[in-house]
Each structure stands twice: as C-alpha cells, then as structure tokens.
Amino acid sequence: MGLFKRRTSRPPTADLENGSIQAGGHTLALSKALVAARVEGPGLSVVVHHPAFADLPEGPRGEAAVEILVAALGEDGLRRVVVQVDPATYPPIDPFDLTALRSFVRSLGVSVDPPEA
C-alpha cells in the first residue's frame, strides 16, 4: 500500500445543456458558454466566453473559465490538451459551444467522454 493516495480527477459533466458552475457568487449555465480554440504547439489555446464574465472581477473570471473547461473536458482532458485559457467578456470570433469543443478534442485523439450513468 502506497503512502499517497492518487487523487481522483473530476470527469466531464454529462449534461452540458442543463449543467452549471458556481463562480464569484454567480451561477453560470454551461449552455451559455462559447469558446474558440486553435492549435498552439502541443495543445490548444482556448478563449472562453460567458455573458456573466462581464460582472466578474478578473480572478473569478479566470477561475470560471477553467471550471467551464473542466465541465466540458474533465480535469484529465483539460491537462492533456489545453495549454492556454483566456477568459473573454465579449464573444470570440467564430465561437462554438462546449459540445463542439468536446468533439474537436476527441478528433485530436483525447477521450473526454463523461462517465456512463
């Protein structure tokens, strides 16, 4: 038996349409999040937008952007593929939703499927 327990990482959220996260005292619906992603070296640079970001200070906005990506990709998927996260108070050019982000990451050979219920 090892001295250290392996910490279980959070899996992707199964229901991106009805799921939400908490940030800075706000509840952010995942269905309202938009992203733009581009390949940067060994991974993706992702711009994350949510309408509530305009009401959040910079710190909580950054934390919320990461939590939105954890909901979409899970902690392991986020670590494996995302090299940069930029929160945006305005929608990015050519945005897509979190379901499309999941599909894009799958196309890169990274499993980001939520656990079966």
Is 68 part of any domain?
A: yes
For position 79, what pLDDT does the model report? 95
Structure tokens at 10: 């959070």
**Of 47, 60, 50, 53, which is closest to residue 29 (Cα–Cα)?**
50
Asked whether residue 101 is assigned to any structural domain, the reply reads yes
Does residue 10 form part of some domain?
A: no
Question: Is 40 part of any domain?
Answer: yes
Number of folded domains that form the chain: 1
- Taking 70 as the threshold, does the pLDDT of residue 117 lie above it? no
**pLDDT by residue (tens digit) across 50-99?**
999 999 999 999 999 999 999 999 999 999 999 999 999 999 999 999 99
Could you tell me if residue 37 is inside a domain?
yes
Distance between the two ends of the chain, CA-based, in angstroms?
30
Q: Containing domain of residue 50, as a range?
A: 24-107
pLDDT band at residue 7, thresholds of 50, 70 and 90? low
Nearest CA among 61, 57, 105, 99 for reference residue 79: 105
- Report if residue 7 sits inside a domain: no
Q: Supply the pTM of this predicted model.
A: 0.92
Residue 115 lies in a domain: no
Per-residue model confidence as pLDDT tens digits over 19-60: 999 998 899 999 999 999 999 999 999 999 999 999 999 999
